[in-house]
Amino acid sequence: MGDRAVSRRLTSRQWRVMSFLALHGTATTVEVAVAVGVPRLTAHRDLTRLHGAGLVERRRSDEDRTHTWWYDVTAEGADLVGRDLAASGRPVPLQLGRRRWNEADGLLFLPLLEVSRQNLGRCELFQWLTTMDTSVWLRGHGLAHLRADGFGVWLEDGRCLRFLVHVDNARISGLLSEEEQRTAGLEVLLAGYRRTDPAVPVGAVLVVARDADHEDHLLEDLARRPVRAPIAISNIDLLGRQWPNEAVWRVPGEDGTRQRLIDLAP
């Protein structure tokens, strides 16, 4: 069956599902439902339809007691999405159809999408770049030495915040001392900013520490040795309990009061 015939048989919502998988990588039914803004059963039906058409593939682990299906776009599906983007004059992202999720997607991207849908007209995740496209964006601003897990633009109450995201996912060796374990990975996150001469063109650099203890040590380190970039810090445990646009961010050198995401805007 030709590409045009396949395209005509898909609904606009199924196109959004397929495009989401091509642009963002492997996802579960629940993640697709949140991203596209439909009920879980609707997402399941669309994914089943796309799977039957050979545009999406699925897999699950025998060791997973929840028997969760994980979906990826196939090469044919990615090619269709790429052609559609090119035909409409939009850029075709790097690694289309071959992307993988990172922690920033689960901690900020999907939650901010859900907040946007719960508060239509009041707030919106206007833009989100994955790791590879964030690297391209940084290179375009003369900051190729920086490595970030994502870039976003958040709109709320008529205000706008552009931000970078770093998640501290360093694996801690048991050979390190207790003090070394507290700071392991944090210095790596900030090394690029300590030698950055040009200003980073964002309102906030969001750093997500592994837990509250590591967050405190990072704040202490930044108070001793400040960086030019506008850093704001939270931790994985807290973001697992609250929405990322709520008062979960702390700014080095201030009184420790947590701020809302939009209040980090200049």
pLDDT digits (tens, 9 = 90+) for 73-93: 999 999 999 998 898 888 887
Q: Name which residue leads in pLDDT, 230 or 100.
A: 230
pLDDT at 186: 60
Whole-angstrom CA distances from 197 to 39, 100, 201, 264 are 47, 31, 12, 22
pLDDT in tens, 40-68: 999 999 999 999 999 999 988 777 777 88
pLDDT in tens, 104-147: 988 999 899 999 988 988 999 999 988 878 888 898 888 888 88
Q: Exposed, middle or buried by CB within 10 Å (0-12, 13-18, 19+), for 127?
A: exposed
Check whether 173 has a pLDDT greater than 80.
no
Mean pLDDT of the chain: 85
Nearest to 17 by CA among 233, 136, 42, 183: 42
Which residues are within 8 A (CB) of 147 and not within 5 positions of it... i.e. 6 or more apart? 135, 192
- CA dihedral sign, ordered 131, 136, 139, 140: negative
For the chain, the first-to-last Cα distance in angstroms comes to 53
Paired residues of 161 in beta bridges: 154
Check whether 3 has a pLDDT greater than 80.
no
Query: What residue has token string 């801690």?
Result: 172
Nearest to 131 by CA among 265, 5, 261, 25: 25
pLDDT at 37: 86
